[in-house]
């Protein structure tokens, strides 16, 4: 069990720092955002499981296996007599593994609840303040001069545009923006971001958690761009992005605490289209 604990611990450390750092700096994800997004998800899941698994394997060393350790320790929780072969360090590892698993699970649940509450609030607001866009189902228009576009996921989905955006764009550019936003909804990007937002919330002091959330947010934007560019072409999408700039999507699908777009993200997305500011 010691060898298993060491191997899992080494995998956890590798996936917690050098691998995410290398991936966040790599150039190839811009050319294959779907594969890069799957890789980020795999890193996050494998990292969490290997970290918890390493602690559990270390805690089970006296018993020789996890099932045997469970047979020893579960009755001890009821009877209060812990077998003497389990030292304080083994019990500490077990406690840390259980505490970490509960902490991560609670953060996922809390983040999901906050996101759902915010989505309901957004749906309520746009139902009151927005008007349906003729010929565009599930699309609402807000009377606001700032050029904004975002989408609100959920059982009921909505794409939200402002008058300022509609006035600033040509019809084909507007179609590009709408296709981009609907791609977010169709591909469930809010669920992908939810897990990384929960990871960042659970480990706010961990620098790679913030880097991972930003990288995943950029990849979802690139995937939505790919859908739009297939419909309207690179030049039209690029011109729409240049006109809207970084004000186009407030907070990643209008749920709770999303990564706001910035100049670096916009530059990276434009570079894929062969456009530079």
- Residue tagged 């609670």 (tokens): 106
Which pair of structure tokens corresponds to residue 38? 């799957």
pLDDT at residue 172 greater than cutoff 90? yes
Query: The whole model's pTM is what?
Result: 0.89
Spell out the residues 6+ positions from residue 200 whose beta carbon is closer than 8 angstroms to its own.
209, 210, 212, 213
Assign 260 a pLDDT band (cuts: 50, 70, 90).
Answer: low
pLDDT at residue 67 greater than cutoff 50? yes
Neighbours of 22 (CB within 10 A): 9
More confident residue, 209 or 126: 126
SS3 letters for 9-65? HHHHHHHHCHHHHHHHHCCHHHCCHHHHHHHHHHHHHHHHHHHHHHHHHHHCCCCCC
In a domain? residue 28: yes
pLDDT tens across 125-144, in order? Answer: 999 999 999 999 999 999 99
Assign 252 a pLDDT band (cuts: 50, 70, 90).
Answer: very low
Helix and strand counts by DSSP (H, E) for the chain = 12, 4
Question: In degrees to the nearest 10, what's the CA dihedral of 240, 35, 214, 185?
Answer: 60
In a domain? residue 213: yes
| Beta-ladder partners of 6 | none
* Distance in angstroms (rounded) separating the CA atoms of residues 8 and 234: 44
In a domain? residue 277: no
Spell out the residues 6+ positions from residue 216 whose beta carbon is closer than 8 angstroms to its own.
37, 40, 192, 193, 196
In a domain? residue 164: yes
Question: In degrees to the nearest 10, what's the CA dihedral of 140, 147, 250, 178?
Answer: 50
In a domain? residue 160: yes
Which pair of structure tokens corresponds to residue 35? 């594969």
Domain, as residue range, for 25: 2-272
Pairing of strands 136-142, 158-162: parallel
Q: Name the domain count of the chain.
A: 1
Strand ranges (E), 124-212: 131-133, 136-142, 149-152, 158-162
More confident residue, 16 or 236: 236
Q: Residue range 107-123: average pLDDT? A: 92
Task: Specify the 3-state DSSP secondary structure of 132.
Answer: strand
Q: What's residue 248's pLDDT?
A: 52
In a domain? residue 199: yes
251's enclosing H/E stretch is: helix 251-254
């Amino acid at each position: 069990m010691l060898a298993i604990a060491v191997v899992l611990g080494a995998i956890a450390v590798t996936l917690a720092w050098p691998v995410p750092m290398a991936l966040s700096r790599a150039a190839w994800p811009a050319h294959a955002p779907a594969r890069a997004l799957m890789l980020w998800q795999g890193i996050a899941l494998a990292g969490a499981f290997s970290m918890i698994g390493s602690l559990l394997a270390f805690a089970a060393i006296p018993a020789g296996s996890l099932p045997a350790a469970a047979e020893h320790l579960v009755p001890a929780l009821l009877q209060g007599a812990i077998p003497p072969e389990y030292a304080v360090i083994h019990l500490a590892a077990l406690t840390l593994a259980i505490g970490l698993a509960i902490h991560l699970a609670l953060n996922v649940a809390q983040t999901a609840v906050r996101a759902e509450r915010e989505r309901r609030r957004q749906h309520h607001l746009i139902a009151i303040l927005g008007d349906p866009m003729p010929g565009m189902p599930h699309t609402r228009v807000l009377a606001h001069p700032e050029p904004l576009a975002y989408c609100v996921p959920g059982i009921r989905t909505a794409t939200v545009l402002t008058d300022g955006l509609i006035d600033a764009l040509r019809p084909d550019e507007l179609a590009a923006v709408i296709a981009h936003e609907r791609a977010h909804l169709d591909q469930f990007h809010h669920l992908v971001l939810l897990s990384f937002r929960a990871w960042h919330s659970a480990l706010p002091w961990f620098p790679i958690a913030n880097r991972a959330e930003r990288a995943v947010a950029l990849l979802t934007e690139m995937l939505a761009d790919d859908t739009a560019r297939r419909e309207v072409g690179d030049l039209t999408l690029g011109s729409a992005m240049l006109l809207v700039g970084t004000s186009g999507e407030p907070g990643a699908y209008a749920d709770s605490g999303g990564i706001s777009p910035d100049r670096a993200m916009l530059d990276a997305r434009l570079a894929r289209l062969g456009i530079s500011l």
